[in-house]
Structure 1
């Protein structure tokens, strides 16, 4: 078979169902190989959208999402989404086409050093400079992308290599290598520490969700009564309906969760990635710190663990739960009960009678009309901060927030990927700034027959930046926007559209949209 046929056969062997991308001249062989396969090629409207789709697919499923772009501008457009997946620890395999090998040693049309460009934002990347290495390279790309901690990998396929023949055949994906059980001596140190403290607290990070350790974490907090504070990407590891949940870390150093951490005598982080939340914002450094993760802690002045348990997160929590149950070890939950009450009461906000609303006032209505297992994809902006801190999340991987690279524009393409990956309803929440960066992917969604809701908060401003500027200087500059008629835009895509003007209309619009087909709900906010 041709090298392009082999690459696609390898994708089939890896279980890939969709490849998101933009066609290009140098990938002609690969495109026709995809046409003749069981893999669905999804043409998108911008390479960034393709990368975001692959990124969110990886977050939701744990299996690497695949995105495809041509050389030059195709590859540069893909880069931001690949970087987002890399810092968010989302498994992704990027494939870029390239000119023929005979012209890569010299300056030529659209040719740039894509390998060097992708090197800082991937776990591994290589050029397929021979058809006989395709099968090994594809297997390696998926294995490395999906191995904890996951991230992005990249394969470059020159157009002349794609057309060459090979006798190689796809390699069978092997079982993912499991992490070991915790070291008994290290675990004994954790147990001894637990015996000595009265006010421990858990900070649940991205890895608590990503490693499927939520069940074991929930059991541990039930047995011990230890409270849990989530990072933005750890939301849902413990249900926010649980009396042990203190919701989410604040964006700064204030707020109730930070006060609880400051008053604790032991902090246990579970699957915490420093890239998702600066420890200088929440860790006062007074209490002992236990780091439980699949990898050692990053060297960081504000994050110096006293004990590091580097092992399978779920198995470690299960071992601790079993020991705590046998030892009848639990704490007095009274020390954080009032904080829990204040956090819960802070979430409930009645919407104002008429538009413009506030994002925080919209979220209780949205939460009420979404089921526990429905998926909310949040874009980046001022609304993200409200969603992170004030949208109760009840199940893992049902509130997807990018907080590693934190790139604007992820929600609409992310909604496409989520709708293809899960059976539940999907809502893509975005601001007018992030929305217009990838609004064209609504056409992709309608072409695919997707049915999800775009919840669009509009204030004609890059609101988060304005807010921070005003906090620092008392004024803002360079953030004001003008917008098109978003309902007319939605109509041009042929989707349902709503612009609620009262609290009753807001609820009615969200109820109709979330349980309906493809739709846009524009909510004017202050």
Structure 2
């Protein structure tokens, strides 16, 4: 029997139609927490083949939906009730909005006839979510639910993805609805104007020292192979943003390093040499151009959408369309056979690799950040996934963690929210159960969403969390030391993390020397029955040591 005939057997409620719409969009999992105002939706989900994963906090649900969207390209879905349930979603929804991750948030709401009053737990959620979503709509009539849902997914999964929001009042959810799911359209591929391709090829051919700057849009656009071809065929070095890591592999001779750490790093020397920067999927939110636009230079922007601009990022030409196709079209006419090798720029990449190797050689305990990353890399396969939280460790991961493929090092660097890694790792393991998944977090960020370990245990999602312990909000301490040569308000105490993990029915490990980290991680990854938590003490005196080393290098 046809699907349409099945739906016509009885008049479905608005909540049931919404679930049919989610199925039509290809939704497999919904993350969230039930409440009184979304019970009709909950029981519609119960009678569907969509998997509902109850989380321990709505923020965790939103981060799971965020990472699900990053890895699949299809909107992750999170669900909450009204009031505090909805406000708890905000951080994760904002993260998806600014980081460009496709996400649809659904909230319950008071009955529509109560919205004009001061009602228990009532907030104007559409107004609240509007600044942090691409579209926020209330389902005020049962016949509009399919249209609202289709548009929510269309906007969320657009060429520049992001978050959208659907608010479903309690009484409307229960009402019969004549609506039926709208057909999901496949958006047409958009290709660049040939004139812009020709002009970009001319600028690239004429430049003495061009440099490619790769951002998150190249990851979303699956443009890694095209970028690698451009680098190799035209002999152009490649820098990456933190969210563009892996587009060019660490072992490529054309890979320079990552822009975006707060300090003036060696990689800026390469930009100092550049007379042309080719932004490929680069978004200003990832790394402000003021950090690398150090002198007059020309800019070519290659992206799926027109660039955001400011006085430091004003492209001479924009090549707007499918990124891979744009690059291959440019390669048909661009020629750099008569140009010298970019030896000065490539020296920057060599310096960064040597710097990492030197710092990673230490056997000291507490462990140096670079040594931790070297050991982590040794146990992670090329396609395994590291999910970084936000803190001092993120700076080290962004700068130094060797990365070989896109979507294997997930870093929130648009909204940059602490608490991202543990729920994000759960979603990553659900999407890629064949991969090792490692959440790397500080002790501050871990305690913000550690409750989701119970979710992972209950849902049988085995991954490993590596906690860098120093009993401080390490990144803020680092900034205070740089600015004030002093610290304030950044210290705290911790539980026994090993015992904490075991109390959550996880496997707990505590590393007590540098040579224990690799075998401990291997043992943790061998556990397939439950998540594992590994705690290692980190020597963050290396933060200011890096600052001083860079200051000394650039004060001459």
Give the TM-score taking structure 1 as reference length. 0.97
Once the two structures are TM-superposed, the CA of residue 82 in structure 1 deviates from its matched residue by 0.3
**406, 423, 444: which one aligns with 2:416:** 406
2:352 is the counterpart of 1:339: no
Partner Cα distance (2:390, 2:186) in 1: 35
Once the two structures are TM-superposed, the CA of residue 253 in structure 1 deviates from its matched residue by 5.6
Over 3 Å counting, the alpha-carbon distance change for 1:104 and 1:47 in structure 2 is same
Once the two structures are TM-superposed, the CA of residue 507 in structure 1 deviates from its matched residue by 1.3
Alignment of 1:317-466 (within 5 A): 317-324=327-334, 332-348=341-357, 349-350=359-360, 352-422=362-432, 423-466=434-477
Is the contact made by 1:3 and 1:164 (CA closer than 8 Å) also made in structure 2?
yes
State the match for 1:32 in structure 2: 43
State the match for 1:101 in structure 2: 112
- Describe the superposition over 1:45-94 as per-residue Cα deviations: whole angstroms up to 9, x where unpaired: 00000000000111111100000000011111101110000000000000
| SS of alignment partner, residue 28 of structure 1 | helix
Is the contact made by 1:247 and 1:392 (CA closer than 8 Å) also made in structure 2?
no
Partner Cα distance (1:31, 1:329) in 2: 65
Partner Cα distance (1:29, 1:216) in 2: 47
Greater shift in the superposed pair: 339-348 or 369-378: 339-348
State the match for 2:266 in structure 1: 256
Alignment of 1:74-153 (within 5 A): 74-153=85-164
Once the two structures are TM-superposed, the CA of residue 389 in structure 1 deviates from its matched residue by 0.4
Is the contact made by 2:134 and 2:164 (CA closer than 8 Å) also made in structure 1?
yes
Partner Cα distance (1:401, 1:408) in 2: 11
Alignment of 1:135-174 (within 5 A): 135-174=146-185
- Describe the superposition over 1:171-212 as per-residue Cα deviations: whole angstroms up to 9, x where unpaired: 221113322x21111222112212222211001001010111
Partner Cα distance (1:69, 1:207) in 2: 29
* Structure 2, gaps ≥5 residues long: 1-11, 540-556
Partner Cα distance (1:434, 1:351) in 2: 27
2:317 is the counterpart of 1:307: yes
* Structure 1, gaps ≥5 residues long: none
**41, 55, 70: which one aligns with 1:44:** 55
Over 3 Å counting, the alpha-carbon distance change for 1:331 and 1:238 in structure 2 is farther
| SS of alignment partner, residue 78 of structure 2 | strand
Is the contact made by 1:252 and 1:282 (CA closer than 8 Å) also made in structure 2?
no
Greater shift in the superposed pair: 226-235 or 215-224: 215-224
Is the contact made by 2:273 and 2:345 (CA closer than 8 Å) also made in structure 1?
no
State the match for 1:58 in structure 2: 69
- Describe the superposition over 1:1-27 as per-residue Cα deviations: whole angstroms up to 9, x where unpaired: 111111001111111111000110011
Partner Cα distance (1:59, 1:329) in 2: 40
Partner Cα distance (1:43, 1:8) in 2: 17
**1, 13, 37: which one aligns with 1:2:** 13
Partner Cα distance (2:535, 2:20) in 1: 43
Partner Cα distance (1:388, 1:176) in 2: 33
Is the contact made by 1:465 and 1:479 (CA closer than 8 Å) also made in structure 2?
yes
2:31 is the counterpart of 1:20: yes
Is the contact made by 2:246 and 2:405 (CA closer than 8 Å) also made in structure 1?
yes
Alignment coverage as a number of residue pairs: 524
